[in-house]
A and B are shown apart, each in its own frame.
Chain A
Amino acid sequence: MIVAGLDIGSLTIKAVIFEENKIKGFTIVPTGADANKLTKDCLELTLKRTGNDFKDLQAIVATGYGRISVPFTDKSITEITCHAIGANWLNPDTRTVIDIGGQDSKVISVDQDGRVVDFVMNDKCAAGTGRFLEVMANALGVKTEELGNESLKSKKKITISSMCTVFAESEVISLIAEGCAKEDIIRGLHEAISNRICSMACRLRLENTIALTGGVAKNIGMVHALKKRLKAKVYVPEEPQIVGALGAAIAASRILYSE
């Protein structure tokens, strides 16, 4: 039984092909104006990698921002439910999921079966999400992927007070002008985001294990900052960015089972 999960996020599109309870392949591509076509391309690329054909797919579930507009899927499920299912499959001890994506951050309480019990989601603005980090990386002249390792070099604590993307950017620029080290500023940014996420997370009952998902969990500096702040058992999947798409694929296989 071959199924696919698609996560059409605000910044990236993810496709996962799932067969007999195993991840067979996945692809991550940036989102663009024509999300439908990009999603189709992303899926086809993945199928090519796994040596399959579109016709082999027995069910497709879509999630993420663009979940409703993709025409060739069987069902759309929110990313909240999908991240919960995906994290539970990867690590059944997961009781909390923190998904930090491009413009949303979400904290989800899950039970032992991977069912969502409660959740909170950031409001409106992108401060404290992946997009925010990208803007800051740009201001610092550092690649987003390098933020993590850079921040680990930090020796001095700097506190960034503005959490609004626009204000934080000018704060960062003036810190550079004052001669602060890049790595210290980056660490300061990570800590500021982690504080923001944690104060949102505290509205739920945080239970161990906490899984970190979404693209931002690939940033080792963010993971460190969150670990320090959460003081809990933290689990980071090997490929945190595809957890939503994985959850969608598992949901797709469940549709087949229930039929």
Chain B
Amino acid sequence: MIKKEFLDYIQHKERIFESIKKPRMGWVCTYTPVEIIIAAGFYPYRIIPVEDPSLANSYLDSNFCPYVRSCLGEALEKRPEYADNLIIVNSCDAMRRLYDAWRHYVQGAFIYLLDLPRDDSAKAIKYYQANLQLLIDRLEEKFKIKISEDLLSQAILVCNKTRKLLTELSDLYVKEKISLSAVEFLQIVKGSMIFPQEEYNILLEKFLKDLKKEENILPETSQIKNKSKILITGTVMDDLSMAKVVEDYGGRVVFVDMCTGNRYFSDQSKISEIKQTNSDPLRVLAEYYLRKIPCPRMMNLEKRWEYLLKIIKDYQVKGVIFYNLKFCDTSMFELPLIREKLQKNKIPSLCLEGEFASNNLGRVKTRIQAFLEVLEFAR
């Protein structure tokens, strides 16, 4: 399949929605065990809104997370068929308020709040596993279904495959073996969250196979060496044009530590390891989700830093861009601390604050260009 065709196809959310006849289950945070949704016979899709957050401003104050407001805005605009069923993770205050507002103003058949612990201790894993069991009980009761261990194990395999394919894509992308821009790469990752997983796996596998054909592999160039390699870190990235700006000014995005980027799939190896040593699929899921690359929300600074430093070393990162949605407490909390550690390691960093779907690109452009000038001088 040619790139253009593939990218075109995965970007038409509405078309996908219409073609799938299965009941839908929306999710918002990447700590949602999509495997359970699949095992329950639903089509899981992440709500990544395109609507203006201001639609939700009558219900949630504008100092609220713009991602959360956009989710609500989109649901209000497109209800009811859009969001009948939804799982929200208790990841931050904004998410809890989304749950409240959704239940009240959007309504729907099944709106569920899943509690998420903050660390990966044995007790936390046990607790999360029990929560997953509760979710399953509620689903079984509400929809009169049975979610067997077998179905769960199968769903894990499906999601593992997606993660594996995305990892493969990311390797090819980082090594610049294929012609793929940062924006295209992120679009493909995003596609994997809004498409039905099984179908997406087939598409992506075909696409990858094609990419890897000899004639599509780019010759080794020295060009990459002259580009400043950038790590982008933060929470949710809506506006991909920012990644484009980095590349337009001669930078190279090598890793996107966001839950709409590499963080979504990068720890795939872990789940296979766990799977081999453990047979209870719920336990496997609980362990995987709590032990994967932590989101700033987990407030595990040491672990976050260790992992960021490893990426910086592995990918020869020259500069770090923090991209945080406005007023996100959890990411603001770690920012100065991580920044200080970066300074000690002589890694320049830039902080950008975003609105969801903002188009105030002029200022962002100046900052990114200036940051790349700093990196260029430092070389």
Q: How large is the interface on A (under 10, 10 to 19, 20 to 34, 35 or more residues)?
A: 10 to 19
Residues on the B chain within 8 Å of A123, using CB: 353, 363
Main SS at interface, chain A: mixed
A115 close to B377 (CB less than 8 A): yes
B373 close to A79 (CB less than 8 A): no
- How many interface residues does B have (CB within 8 Å)? 14
Residues on the B chain within 8 Å of A154, using CB: none
A231 at the interface (CB under 8 A from B): no
A121 close to B367 (CB less than 8 A): yes
A78 close to B370 (CB less than 8 A): yes
A65 at the interface (CB under 8 A from B): yes
B374 at the interface (CB under 8 A from A): yes
Residue of A nearest to B371 (CB): A119
A116 close to B370 (CB less than 8 A): yes
A148 to B360, CA, bound (A): 32
Main SS at interface, chain B: helix
The listed residue (B360, B369, B377) touching A78 by CB distance below 8 A is B369
B377 close to A116 (CB less than 8 A): yes
A220 to B374, CA, bound (A): 32
Q: Shortest CB–CB separation between residue A53 and chain B, in angstroms? A: 31
Residues on the A chain within 8 Å of B367, using CB: 121
A80 close to B370 (CB less than 8 A): yes
Residues on the B chain within 8 Å of A104, using CB: 363
Residue of B nearest to A122 (CB): B363
Residues on the B chain within 8 Å of A96, using CB: none
Residue of A nearest to B366 (CB): A78
A118 at the interface (CB under 8 A from B): yes
Residues on the B chain within 8 Å of A81, using CB: 370, 373-374
B361-379: CB near A (< 8 Å → 1, else 0) gives 0110011011001100110
A57 at the interface (CB under 8 A from B): no
A78-89: CB near B (< 8 Å → 1, else 0) gives 111100000000
B348 at the interface (CB under 8 A from A): yes
A119 close to B377 (CB less than 8 A): no
Residues on the A chain within 8 Å of B374, using CB: 81, 115-119
Residues on the A chain within 8 Å of B360, using CB: 124
Residues on the B chain within 8 Å of A124, using CB: 360, 363
Q: Shortest CB–CB separation between residue B335 and chain A, in angstroms? A: 11
A121 close to B363 (CB less than 8 A): yes
Binding site for B on A (CB under 8 A): 65, 77-81, 104, 115-121, 123-124
9 tightest A-B CB contacts, nearest first: A80-B370, A78-B370, A81-B373, A115-B377, A78-B369, A116-B374, A78-B366, A121-B367, A81-B370
Binding site for A on B (CB under 8 A): 348, 351, 353, 360, 362-363, 366-367, 369-370, 373-374, 377-378
